Amino acid sequence: MKTALIVDDSRVVRKVARKILEGNGFACDEAEDGQQALTACQKKLPDLILLDWNMPVMTGIEFLPKLRELPEGGTPCVIFCTTENDMSHIQQAIGAGANEYIMKPFDNDIIQGKLVQLGLLDEQA
């Protein structure tokens, strides 16, 4: 089973994201900020990280280069998932090594589409 780490300081967002990802066959873990996410990734790298931008302690954009420096840290697919919805944030995120970018609000269709593009999900028949 593919694994996902949902990193967001909002419990509601984590819950919605978990429901969608579980519906698409992912086993999910959650983290409330970049620091927690980093600790989780040091133990075990997931296949997918859904990453919020603005979080206390450590933001998503601070977390990303630290993730990529871990041994094998290049392997997880990282999808930013944030209310930041302007081109400069998108460029910054992709430049920092994110694989995809979702502007909140999101729904199942959007997430599913990105998973297919990233090869994490087979195309629906």
Partner 1 sequence: MKTEDFELLSGILKQRSGLVLTPEKAYLLESRLLPVARKYSLKGLDELAAQIRSRRDEAMLRDMTEAMTTNESSFFRDQKPFDQFKNIIMPHVAEARAAKKQVRVWSAACSSGQEAYSLTMLWHELAAKYPGWKLEIMGTDLSAEMVERSRSGIYTQFEVQRGLPIQLLMKYFTQQGDKWQINTQCRALCQFKEMNLLQDFGPVGVFDIIYCRNVLIYFDPPTKTRVLEAMSKVLAPDGALYLGGAETVLGLTDKFRPVDANRGLYVLSSAPAALYSGAAAVKAA
Question: Binding residues for partner 1, per CB under 8 A?
Answer: 85-87, 90-91, 94, 100-103, 106, 109-110, 113, 116-117, 123
Min CB(42)–partner 1 separation in Å = 27
How far is the C-alpha of 58 from the C-alpha of 63, rounded, in Å? 6
Min CB(122)–partner 1 separation in Å = 11
Nearer to partner 1, 8 or 100 (CB): 100
Nearer to partner 1, 58 or 110 (CB): 110
How far is the C-alpha of 41 from the C-alpha of 122, rounded, in Å? 25
Nearer to partner 1, 12 or 87 (CB): 87
Min CB(60)–partner 1 separation in Å = 15
Task: Tell me the CB-side half-sphere exposure of residue 91, using CA atoms within 13 A.
Answer: 3
Side-by-side strand order, sheet with 48-51: 26-31, 2-7, 48-51, 77-82, 100-103
